[in-house]
Amino acid sequence: MADPQVEVRRSARRRRTLTVFRERGRLVALVPARLTAAQERSLLPPLVQRFLRREAQRTLPLPEDELATRAAGLYEQFLAPRTGLPLPAFSIRWVDNQQRRWGSCSTDTGAIRLSSRLRTMPAWVSDYVVLHELAHLFVANHSAAFHHLLAGYPQLEQAQSFLHGYQHAVDGGATEGEPELDF
């Protein structure tokens, strides 16, 4: 595996620990300011590799060519029984430019775009967003008919709560004056 690009941020307040996380799709490492270059070369690669292994275990590890297959399976399992209709033509892909939306759907073209931030979410959360966007292929708005389509997903409320809680944490707990996240 090629070594990923990691942004290293040195902190005078950090004394002993190193940590790696994702920020807007990039890997970031926080290290003590007094860490030498030799220590960084020695300590950081195994930490990054461990982070990437753990991330892979908890994410929806689907490349774009498998997203359509996954989406079609989710449609058959959860939406088809409620629509009674075949799945219309659609395309689905990951995008990096959606920071305030988890997904979007162009109902006229069937193009579904999923925020790449979902790659770090549990699969049942990503599945919910895929189903949400697929439901828009049948109902363009968030009416009662739209919510009826999604009601068959058993982890609907948990996934919605997860996404709202995640965004609340990202926003630093702000509640007033913040725009409402939409799909």
SS3 of 91-133:
EEEEECCCCCECEEEECCCCEEEEEHHHHHCCHHHHHHHHHHH
Least confident interval from 2-16, 33-47, 82-96: 2-16
Residue, of 147 and 21, whose pLDDT is higher = 147
For 42-96, write each residue's pLDDT tens digit.
Answer: 999 999 998 887 776 655 556 777 889 999 999 999 999 999 999 999 999 999 8
Partners of 19 in beta bridges: 30
- What is the pLDDT, as a whole number, of residue 53? 78
Classify domain 64-170 at the CATH superfamily level. Answer: Metalloproteases ("zincins"), catalytic domain (3.30.2010.10)
Residue extents of the structural domains in the chain: 6-58, 64-170
Q: What is the pTM of this model?
A: 0.64
What is the rounded distance in angstroms from the CA atom of residue 11 to the CA atom of residue 177?
Answer: 31
